[in-house]
Protein backbone atom coordinates (compact mmCIF):
# COMPACT_ATOMS: atom_id res chain seq x y z
CA UNK A 1 0.00 0.00 0.00
CA UNK A 2 1.34 3.46 -0.91
CA UNK A 3 0.92 6.49 1.28
CA UNK A 4 0.85 10.11 0.21
CA UNK A 5 2.92 12.00 2.73
CA UNK A 6 3.00 15.82 2.91
CA UNK A 7 6.44 17.25 3.64
CA UNK A 8 5.65 20.44 5.52
CA UNK A 9 7.28 23.76 6.35
CA UNK A 10 9.32 22.98 9.50
CA UNK A 11 9.54 25.15 12.59
CA UNK A 12 13.17 26.25 13.00
CA UNK A 13 12.87 28.69 15.90
CA UNK A 14 10.49 29.50 18.73
CA UNK A 15 9.29 32.71 17.05
CA UNK A 16 9.01 31.36 13.52
CA UNK A 17 5.51 31.52 12.02
CA UNK A 18 6.25 31.27 8.29
CA UNK A 19 9.13 30.28 6.03
CA UNK A 20 10.19 31.36 2.57
CA UNK A 21 10.62 28.61 -0.02
CA UNK A 22 13.96 29.30 -1.73
CA UNK A 23 14.40 26.45 -4.22
CA UNK A 24 13.38 22.86 -4.93
CA UNK A 25 16.09 20.23 -5.39
CA UNK A 26 13.61 17.72 -6.82
CA UNK A 27 10.92 17.56 -9.47
CA UNK A 28 7.75 15.52 -9.86
CA UNK A 29 8.56 11.88 -10.54
CA UNK A 30 12.00 11.90 -8.91
CA UNK A 31 12.93 8.89 -6.77
CA UNK A 32 14.49 9.98 -3.48
CA UNK A 33 16.16 8.26 -0.55
CA UNK A 34 15.67 9.08 3.10
CA UNK A 35 17.92 12.04 3.88
CA UNK A 36 18.05 13.43 0.33
CA UNK A 37 17.59 17.20 0.18
CA UNK A 38 14.12 18.09 -1.08
CA UNK A 39 14.07 21.91 -0.85
CA UNK A 40 15.58 24.90 0.93
CA UNK A 41 13.70 27.36 3.12
CA UNK A 42 14.59 30.65 4.77
CA UNK A 43 13.36 32.60 7.78
CA UNK A 44 14.67 35.82 9.32
CA UNK A 45 17.25 33.75 11.18
CA UNK A 46 18.33 30.84 9.01
CA UNK A 47 18.24 29.17 5.64
CA UNK A 48 18.00 25.41 5.89
CA UNK A 49 17.75 22.27 3.76
CA UNK A 50 14.75 20.01 4.34
CA UNK A 51 15.41 16.30 3.85
CA UNK A 52 13.20 13.43 2.72
CA UNK A 53 11.78 11.60 5.76
CA UNK A 54 11.75 8.27 3.92
CA UNK A 55 12.41 6.60 0.56
CA UNK A 56 9.81 7.44 -2.05
CA UNK A 57 8.76 9.30 -5.19
CA UNK A 58 7.88 12.98 -5.52
CA UNK A 59 4.18 13.15 -6.33
CA UNK A 60 3.56 16.89 -6.49
CA UNK A 61 5.05 20.29 -5.66
CA UNK A 62 2.55 22.55 -3.91
CA UNK A 63 4.28 25.94 -4.05
CA UNK A 64 6.60 28.06 -6.13
CA UNK A 65 10.03 29.36 -5.02
CA UNK A 66 9.51 32.70 -3.31
CA UNK A 67 6.31 31.60 -1.60
CA UNK A 68 5.74 32.36 2.10
CA UNK A 69 4.28 29.27 3.76
CA UNK A 70 2.93 28.81 7.28
CA UNK A 71 4.55 26.33 9.65
CA UNK A 72 3.01 22.88 9.26
CA UNK A 73 1.59 23.54 5.78
CA UNK A 74 2.58 21.09 3.01
CA UNK A 75 5.31 22.12 0.56
CA UNK A 76 5.35 18.92 -1.49
CA UNK A 77 3.78 15.46 -1.50
CA UNK A 78 5.75 12.19 -1.45
CA UNK A 79 4.59 8.68 -2.27
CA UNK A 80 5.99 6.22 0.29
CA UNK A 81 5.57 2.49 0.84
CA UNK A 82 5.48 2.88 4.61
CA UNK A 83 3.56 5.29 6.80
CA UNK A 84 5.81 8.06 8.04
CA UNK A 85 5.70 9.30 11.63
CA UNK A 86 4.63 12.94 11.64
CA UNK A 87 6.29 15.66 13.69
CA UNK A 88 4.55 18.53 15.45
CA UNK A 89 5.97 21.66 13.80
CA UNK A 90 3.32 23.96 15.18
CA UNK A 91 0.06 23.49 16.99
CA UNK A 92 -1.37 21.21 14.35
CA UNK A 93 -0.45 17.60 13.84
CA UNK A 94 0.46 16.58 10.29
CA UNK A 95 -0.28 13.01 9.29
CA UNK A 96 0.21 10.84 6.23
CA UNK A 97 -3.07 10.95 4.30
CA UNK A 98 -4.63 9.74 1.08
CA UNK A 99 -4.47 11.88 -2.05
CA UNK A 100 -8.06 13.06 -1.93
CA UNK A 101 -7.37 14.64 1.45
CA UNK A 102 -4.52 16.82 0.14
CA UNK A 103 -5.45 20.37 -0.73
CA UNK A 104 -3.38 22.83 -2.72
CA UNK A 105 -1.68 25.24 -0.34
CA UNK A 106 -2.62 28.87 -0.68
CA UNK A 107 0.60 30.87 -0.53
CA UNK A 108 1.56 34.49 -0.85
CA UNK A 109 4.57 35.78 -2.75
CA UNK A 110 6.48 38.11 -0.47
CA UNK A 111 7.03 41.60 -1.88
CA UNK A 112 10.58 42.16 -3.12
CA UNK A 113 12.31 45.10 -1.49
CA UNK A 114 12.93 47.81 -4.10
CA UNK A 115 16.70 47.47 -3.78
CA UNK A 116 19.17 46.01 -1.32
CA UNK A 117 20.67 48.83 0.71
CA UNK A 118 24.19 47.60 0.02
CA UNK A 119 23.63 48.06 -3.74
CA UNK A 120 23.86 51.78 -3.06
CA UNK A 121 27.57 51.43 -2.27
CA UNK A 122 28.26 49.86 -5.70
CA UNK A 123 28.94 52.09 -8.71
CA UNK A 124 26.42 51.47 -11.49
CA UNK A 125 24.67 53.45 -14.19
CA UNK A 126 21.08 54.36 -13.19
CA UNK A 127 19.50 51.99 -15.71
CA UNK A 128 21.56 49.04 -14.48
CA UNK A 129 20.74 49.88 -10.87
CA UNK A 130 16.99 50.03 -11.45
CA UNK A 131 16.99 46.86 -13.56
CA UNK A 132 19.04 45.00 -10.92
CA UNK A 133 16.44 45.92 -8.30
CA UNK A 134 13.61 44.66 -10.53
CA UNK A 135 15.41 41.38 -11.23
CA UNK A 136 16.51 40.84 -7.63
CA UNK A 137 20.19 40.87 -8.65
CA UNK A 138 22.85 41.81 -6.10
CA UNK A 139 25.18 44.25 -7.86
CA UNK A 140 28.05 43.09 -5.65
CA UNK A 141 28.11 39.81 -7.58
CA UNK A 142 28.66 41.49 -10.98
CA UNK A 143 32.06 42.33 -12.49
CA UNK A 144 32.19 45.98 -13.63
CA UNK A 145 33.74 46.91 -16.97
CA UNK A 146 32.64 50.55 -17.18
CA UNK A 147 34.73 53.62 -16.36
CA UNK A 148 35.97 53.77 -12.76
CA UNK A 149 34.66 50.22 -12.21
CA UNK A 150 31.05 51.22 -12.91
CA UNK A 151 28.52 48.49 -13.72
CA UNK A 152 26.83 48.98 -17.08
CA UNK A 153 23.73 47.41 -18.61
CA UNK A 154 26.08 45.22 -20.65
CA UNK A 155 27.64 43.94 -17.42
CA UNK A 156 24.20 43.28 -15.93
CA UNK A 157 22.82 41.48 -18.98
CA UNK A 158 25.89 39.29 -19.36
CA UNK A 159 26.32 38.44 -15.70
CA UNK A 160 26.15 34.76 -14.85
CA UNK A 161 23.79 34.71 -11.87
CA UNK A 162 23.44 31.54 -9.84
CA UNK A 163 19.65 30.88 -9.69
CA UNK A 164 19.90 29.43 -6.18
CA UNK A 165 21.86 32.45 -4.95
CA UNK A 166 19.44 34.86 -6.60
CA UNK A 167 16.52 33.05 -4.96
CA UNK A 168 18.19 33.29 -1.56
CA UNK A 169 18.86 36.99 -2.03
CA UNK A 170 15.29 37.65 -3.09
CA UNK A 171 13.86 35.73 -0.14
CA UNK A 172 16.25 37.47 2.23
CA UNK A 173 15.26 40.94 1.06
CA UNK A 174 11.58 40.13 1.41
CA UNK A 175 12.14 38.97 4.98
CA UNK A 176 14.06 42.14 5.84
CA UNK A 177 11.27 44.22 4.32
CA UNK A 178 8.74 42.30 6.42
CA UNK A 179 10.81 42.94 9.55
CA UNK A 180 10.93 46.66 8.82
CA UNK A 181 7.18 46.71 8.27
CA UNK A 182 6.60 44.95 11.60
CA UNK A 183 8.97 47.36 13.34
CA UNK A 184 6.87 50.35 12.27
CA UNK A 185 4.14 49.28 14.68
CA UNK A 186 6.43 49.51 17.72
CA UNK A 187 6.60 52.77 19.70
CA UNK A 188 10.31 53.50 19.64
CA UNK A 189 12.95 56.20 19.98
CA UNK A 190 16.58 56.46 18.82
CA UNK A 191 19.68 58.06 20.36
CA UNK A 192 23.17 58.63 18.91
CA UNK A 193 26.65 59.20 20.31
CA UNK A 194 30.11 59.56 18.77
CA UNK A 195 32.92 57.44 20.24
CA UNK A 196 36.54 56.61 19.58
CA UNK A 197 36.56 54.05 16.75
CA UNK A 198 39.45 52.06 18.15
CA UNK A 199 37.35 49.15 19.43
CA UNK A 200 36.82 45.63 18.16
CA UNK A 201 33.50 43.99 17.39
CA UNK A 202 34.06 41.54 20.25
CA UNK A 203 34.58 44.47 22.64
CA UNK A 204 31.30 46.04 21.51
CA UNK A 205 29.33 42.79 21.82
CA UNK A 206 30.73 42.03 25.26
CA UNK A 207 30.21 45.58 26.55
CA UNK A 208 26.64 45.79 25.26
CA UNK A 209 25.71 42.43 26.79
CA UNK A 210 27.15 43.58 30.13
CA UNK A 211 25.17 46.84 30.00
CA UNK A 212 21.92 45.02 29.27
CA UNK A 213 22.55 42.50 32.04
CA UNK A 214 22.98 45.36 34.51
CA UNK A 215 19.38 46.42 33.82
CA UNK A 216 17.26 43.38 34.76
CA UNK A 217 14.24 45.68 35.00
CA UNK A 218 14.35 45.98 31.22
CA UNK A 219 14.85 42.27 30.54
CA UNK A 220 12.13 40.26 28.83
CA UNK A 221 14.37 37.17 28.60
CA UNK A 222 16.40 35.15 31.10
CA UNK A 223 19.59 35.48 29.04
CA UNK A 224 21.36 38.02 26.83
CA UNK A 225 21.69 37.10 23.16
CA UNK A 226 23.45 39.57 20.86
CA UNK A 227 22.68 39.07 17.16
CA UNK A 228 25.27 40.49 14.76
CA UNK A 229 24.04 41.19 11.23
CA UNK A 230 26.64 39.95 8.75
CA UNK A 231 26.30 40.59 5.03
CA UNK A 232 27.45 38.15 2.38
CA UNK A 233 26.74 37.35 -1.25
CA UNK A 234 23.88 35.19 0.02
CA UNK A 235 22.28 38.07 1.91
CA UNK A 236 22.07 38.84 5.64
CA UNK A 237 22.91 36.32 8.36
CA UNK A 238 22.10 36.91 12.04
CA UNK A 239 24.27 34.67 14.24
CA UNK A 240 23.51 35.06 17.93
CA UNK A 241 26.22 35.27 20.60
CA UNK A 242 24.60 34.04 23.80
CA UNK A 243 25.74 35.54 27.12
CA UNK A 244 28.94 36.88 25.48
CA UNK A 245 29.85 38.85 28.62
CA UNK A 246 30.51 35.50 30.31
CA UNK A 247 33.29 34.70 27.81
CA UNK A 248 36.90 35.82 28.02
CA UNK A 249 37.65 38.58 25.53
CA UNK A 250 40.07 36.51 23.43
CA UNK A 251 37.64 33.57 23.32
CA UNK A 252 34.81 35.84 22.18
CA UNK A 253 37.08 37.51 19.62
CA UNK A 254 37.95 34.11 18.12
CA UNK A 255 34.28 33.08 18.12
CA UNK A 256 33.23 36.30 16.34
CA UNK A 257 35.94 35.80 13.70
CA UNK A 258 35.06 32.16 12.98
CA UNK A 259 31.31 32.83 12.98
CA UNK A 260 31.68 35.82 10.64
CA UNK A 261 33.66 33.69 8.20
CA UNK A 262 31.04 30.94 8.36
CA UNK A 263 28.22 33.47 7.80
CA UNK A 264 29.95 34.92 4.73
CA UNK A 265 30.00 31.41 3.28
CA UNK A 266 26.32 30.90 4.05
CA UNK A 267 26.98 28.42 6.86
CA UNK A 268 26.09 29.31 10.44
CA UNK A 269 25.70 26.65 13.17
CA UNK A 270 22.03 26.00 13.84
CA UNK A 271 22.53 26.57 17.57
CA UNK A 272 23.59 30.16 16.87
CA UNK A 273 20.47 31.17 14.97
CA UNK A 274 18.03 31.52 17.85
CA UNK A 275 17.87 33.33 21.17
CA UNK A 276 18.53 36.94 20.10
CA UNK A 277 17.50 39.61 22.63
CA UNK A 278 19.19 42.54 20.84
CA UNK A 279 20.75 43.16 17.41
CA UNK A 280 23.85 45.02 16.19
CA UNK A 281 24.24 46.22 12.59
CA UNK A 282 27.63 47.68 11.64
CA UNK A 283 27.26 49.92 8.57
CA UNK A 284 30.60 51.67 9.13
CA UNK A 285 32.32 49.07 6.95
CA UNK A 286 30.36 50.50 4.01
CA UNK A 287 31.40 54.08 4.88
CA UNK A 288 27.83 54.87 5.96
CA UNK A 289 27.47 57.42 8.75
CA UNK A 290 24.30 55.98 10.22
CA UNK A 291 21.19 53.91 9.66
CA UNK A 292 18.08 53.80 11.80
CA UNK A 293 18.35 50.65 13.96
CA UNK A 294 15.57 48.13 13.44
CA UNK A 295 13.71 46.64 16.39
CA UNK A 296 13.02 42.98 15.73
CA UNK A 297 10.09 41.21 17.42
CA UNK A 298 10.74 40.20 21.04
CA UNK A 299 13.69 42.60 21.30
CA UNK A 300 13.70 45.82 23.31
CA UNK A 301 16.89 47.35 21.88
CA UNK A 302 19.07 47.45 18.78
CA UNK A 303 22.33 49.16 17.83
CA UNK A 304 23.79 50.52 14.61
CA UNK A 305 27.47 51.39 14.24
CA UNK A 306 28.16 54.08 11.64
CA UNK A 307 31.29 55.69 10.21
CA UNK A 308 32.20 59.09 11.67
CA UNK A 309 35.80 59.98 10.90
CA UNK A 310 39.04 58.00 10.75
CA UNK A 311 39.18 58.12 14.54
CA UNK A 312 35.49 58.08 15.43
CA UNK A 313 32.33 56.01 14.96
CA UNK A 314 28.67 56.82 15.50
CA UNK A 315 26.61 54.53 17.74
CA UNK A 316 22.82 54.69 17.41
CA UNK A 317 20.53 52.98 19.92
CA UNK A 318 16.84 52.31 19.38
CA UNK A 319 14.61 51.38 22.32
CA UNK A 320 11.08 50.04 22.66
CA UNK A 321 9.17 52.73 24.57
CA UNK A 322 6.84 50.08 25.95
CA UNK A 323 9.71 48.87 28.15
CA UNK A 324 11.89 51.93 28.77
CA UNK A 325 11.68 55.68 28.42
CA UNK A 326 13.97 58.36 26.99
CA UNK A 327 15.94 58.63 30.21
CA UNK A 328 16.55 54.86 30.23
CA UNK A 329 17.75 55.02 26.63
CA UNK A 330 20.21 57.81 27.39
CA UNK A 331 21.56 55.90 30.40
CA UNK A 332 22.01 52.71 28.38
CA UNK A 333 23.91 54.49 25.63
CA UNK A 334 26.07 56.41 28.14
CA UNK A 335 26.92 53.16 29.93
CA UNK A 336 27.87 51.47 26.64
CA UNK A 337 30.12 54.35 25.55
CA UNK A 338 31.80 54.42 28.96
CA UNK A 339 32.42 50.66 28.84
CA UNK A 340 33.89 50.79 25.32
CA UNK A 341 36.09 53.77 26.15
CA UNK A 342 37.65 51.90 29.10
CA UNK A 343 39.03 49.16 26.83
Annotated domain spans of the chain = 3-109, 117-180, 188-342
Name residues of the chain where pLDDT drops below 50: 1, 83-120
**pLDDT for the residue 96:** 37
If you classify domain 3-109 with CATH, what class do you get?
A: mainly beta
The yes or no reply on domain 117-180 and CATH 4.10.320.10 is yes
Return mean pLDDT, the chain: 77
Q: Is the pTM of this model over 0.75?
A: no
**pLDDT for the residue 57:** 93
Report the topology of domain 188-342.
Chloramphenicol Acetyltransferase (3.30.559)
Interior angle at CA 262, CA 260 and CA 266, nearest 5: 110
**pLDDT for the residue 119:** 44
Dump pLDDT digits (tens) for 269-297: 767 877 888 999 888 876 777 777 678 77
Contact call for residues 47 and 40 (beta carbons, < 8 A): yes
The three-state DSSP-derived secondary structure of the chain is CCEEEEEECCCCCCCCCEEEEEEECCCCCCEECCCCEEEEEECCCCEEEEECCCCEEEEEECCCCCEEEECCCEEEEEEECCCCCCCCCCCCCCCCECHHHCCCCCCEECCCCCCCHHHHHCCECHHHHHHHHHHCCCHHHCCCCCHHHCECHHHHHHCCCCHHHHHHHHHHHHHHHHHHHHHCCCCEEEEEEEEECCCCHHHHHHHHHHHHHCCHHHCCCCCCEEEEEEEECCEEECCEEECHHHCCHHHHHHHHHHHHHHHHCCCCCHHHCCCCCEEEEECHHHCCCCCCCCCCCCCCEEEEEEEEECCEEEEEEEEECCCCCHHHHHHHHHHHHHHHHHC
**pLDDT for the residue 93:** 35
d(CA 53, CA 7): 8
Amino acid sequence: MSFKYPVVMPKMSMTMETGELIIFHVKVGDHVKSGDVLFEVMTDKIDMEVDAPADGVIDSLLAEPGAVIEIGKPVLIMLTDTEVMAFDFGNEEVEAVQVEQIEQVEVKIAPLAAALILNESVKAVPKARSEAAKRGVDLRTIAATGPDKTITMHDLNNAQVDPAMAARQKANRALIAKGIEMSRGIAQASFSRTVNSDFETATLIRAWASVLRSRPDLAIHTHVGVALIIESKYGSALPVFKDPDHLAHEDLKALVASTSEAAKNGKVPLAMLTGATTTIFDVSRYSMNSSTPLLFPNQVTSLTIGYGTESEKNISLTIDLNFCDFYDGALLLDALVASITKH
